[in-house]
Amino acid sequence: MPAYCAPMVRKILLFVVAGALPAVLYGVFWLQTAAHVGAGFAAKVACSLVLDSAQSPEGAVADYIAAETAPLGALLRFAVTGRAAEATALGVVRVRAIHRPGLGCTLLPDGDTGLALPRGIEAKRPKLDPASPWPLGDAGPSDAAPPAVEAAIDHAFAEPAAATGNVRRTTAIVVAHDGRLVAERYAPGYGPNVPMLSWSMAKSVLAALVAIEVADGRLALHERAPVPEWASDDDPRRAITLDQLLRMSSGLGWDEHYGAVNDVSRMLFTMPDTGAFAARSPLVATPDTVWYYSSGTSNIVARILRELAGNDLATLVRHANERLFDAAAMTSAMFEPDVSGTFIGSSFAFMTARDWARFGELHREDGVWNGRRILPEGWVRYVTTPTPAAPEGQYGAHWWLNAGEPKDPARRPWPDLPTDTYAARGHSGQYVVVVPSAKLVVVRLGLSEPDNGDDGAARLVAEILAALSR
């Protein structure tokens, strides 16, 4: 090589290396983050499905976890032993989740922190009379369901044609009409006493806990949210209100698209303090001008509740049980916390399918349970009022709606259902659907993989409505 060419070659090589370095660094970041997210998902969800919902480890993998973590495939290993689950990705990333009575499973993304069971949550939960009718008791349906209702449930449990690639895996259906349990069915391995995973239905439960604090005068919807990171006078997030957080119109930047390195996955499966992670989000739009669904905002709200409880998890649990769950006969209900002691209000509530139906019934009855007001007057109207920035009137305050566009109600998420329909809704096909005009509550739970767009829930409710109107 001529001597005069050497400097030129070196410059070219330096240019190539400099250009490639960012891509290499991002690749390393992506792989490391994806490994932590995959291992965290496997450990957390395996712990919950096995130790909260009494599923076999083999069944949890085959029915759900394998599909959700498919990109890692053979690079992911996990086991459930005793009261914990451990997952390993790429042979080097090791993550544990531990189970604690009354708290469910907590992911330990930074290793075993030696979490203890908080003092003061040992109180026994009330037992419902198994011979008394639902909702105050825990007896099953007293009569056979109408044949058309049974047919609708048959459709919901039937898998679509194999060619579509859709997998529904319905695990439970409960139907309540006019305050009476009229039908229920469970997949093998599930039943009326099995607490089941909420995913984002937890957001609607979180809103009910907020309602109690609003009624007590400890929170105000239209005042600024008490978030320490936003307290500075020059912080543009300072003016964000609790209402804007509940309506997903805070203007905070967030990436809710599920994947290996996005915000929601990193928050849920790599962060010990989910609310603090979300609170670091920048403001990218003027509050109330844009609607964007964000699990991060839910965990900011959940951390506010933790701080109202003096950052004491036992106090938080007792308060939730006494004022909401046990007060409305949802005696299996619980929130799983993160390491910091914040309820993971975006995603991890557990209760039986009958208790999920009670949650819907509490809202159908305007927050009153057995003559006692649990949620403040006007709260159900508030959470089911469409958020102005939501384009099709599809969202209220941590509840999904079917109101439709103000000028064209026909343009709505579930065209075959009445416009007053609202729902708690979660990943993989979780639904509590309330239709006030029909005095109907329908619970559909499942392990559909993953959000294939055809979990059959809307058809189920439409067919039940038709059946009960005959």
pLDDT per position as a tens digit, 111-145? 777 788 898 888 789 999 999 999 999 999 999 99
Question: Looking at residue 124, what DSSP letter applies?
Answer: P
Rg (CA), the chain: 24
Structure letter (DSSP) for residue 108: E
Q: Is the pLDDT of residue 356 over 90?
A: yes
- What is the distance between the alpha carbons of residues 131 and 142, in angstroms, rounded to a whole number? 10
Length of the chain (residues)? 470
- Is the model more confident about 338 or about 8? 338
**pLDDT range class, residue 73, cuts 50, 70, 90:** confident
Two tokens, residue 294 = 């964000």
Q: What integer best gives the mean pLDDT of the chain?
A: 91
- Residue with token string 């996990």: 78
pTM for the structure as a whole: 0.93
Task: Provide CB contacts within 8 A for 313, sequence distance 6+.
Answer: 103, 118, 121, 306, 337, 341
- CA-CA distance, 137 to 149, in Å (whole number)? 23
- Share of residues in the chain with pLDDT > 70 (%): 91
For the chain, list the domains and their CATH numbers: 5-108 (no CATH), 147-468 (3.40.710.10)
Quote the percentage of the chain above a pLDDT of 90: 76
pLDDT at 452 over 60: no
Peptide bond into 135 cis (omega under 30): yes
Per-residue pLDDT tens over the stretch 379-425? 999 999 999 999 999 999 999 999 998 888 889 999 999 999 999 99
Looking at the predicted structure, is the pLDDT value of residue 329 above 80? Answer: yes
Contacts 24+ apart (CB under 8 A), 425-429: 425/200, 425/201, 425/400, 426/197, 426/198, 426/199, 426/200, 426/201, 426/202, 426/347, 427/199, 427/200, 427/258, 427/347, 427/451, 428/64, 428/199, 428/455, 429/168, 429/169, 429/170, 429/455, 429/456, 429/457
Average pLDDT over residues 438-457: 84
Q: Which has the minimum average pLDDT: 57-61, 105-109, 160-164, 203-207?
A: 160-164
What average pLDDT score do residues 166-192 get?
95
Beta strands across the sheet bearing 440-446 = 180-186, 170-177, 440-446, 430-435, 422-426, 400-401
Distance of alpha carbon 68 from alpha carbon 145, whole angstroms:
35
